[in-house]
Amino acid sequence: MAQIQSPLPGTFYRQPSPEEPPFKSAGDAVAVGDTIGLIEVMKTFIQVNAEDPGTFKAYVAEDGAPVMAGDVLAELDG
């Protein structure tokens, strides 16, 4: 099981915008470079991209939650 960690501190978002669905849902295929969420910091939104391929399992960090660098944001299977 692979984990996707936050590269930096900020506020985590699961969706590209409040009106849209989350980037990934359980069972979705994840390719290297796929965006799984956004971190907002210094008036900028930074994409969090998968560095390993797999199948999306679940988000770990809550939508809109403050996160620190290294916090686990989501989990992948395989």
Partner 1 sequence: MTLEIVKPGLATSVQDLGRPGYFHLGIPEGGAMDRFALRAANMLVGNPEDAACLEAVFMGPEIKFTADTTVAVTGGEMPIMVDGEQQQTWTSFAVKAGQTLSFGFLKSGARIYIAVSGGIDTPPDLGSRSTYPIGALGGIEGRAVAAGDVLPIGAGTAASAGRSVPADLRRGPSNPAELRVLPGLYWHRLTEAAQASFFDDTWTVAPEADRMGYRFKGGRPLELVDREPPFGAGSDPSNIVDGCYSYGSIQVPGGTEPIILHRDAVSGGGYFTLGAIISADMDLIGQLQPNTQVKFVRVEMAEALKARAQRKAMLQKLREELM
**Could you tell me the smallest distance in angstroms from the CB atom of residue 5 to partner 1?**
7
In the list 31, 32, 35, 40, the residue contacting partner 1 (rule: CB under 8 A) is: 40
Kindly state whether residue 18 participates in binding partner 1, applying the rule CB under 8 A: no
Q: At 23, list the tokens.
A: 């980037």
**Could you tell me the smallest distance in angstroms from the CB atom of residue 61 to partner 1?**
13
Write the CA distances from 14 to 9, 32, 48, integer angstroms: 15, 18, 10
Q: Which residues contact 42 (CB under 8 A, 6 or more apart)?
A: none
Q: Which residues bind partner 1 (CB under 8 A)?
A: 5-11, 40-44, 46, 66, 68-70
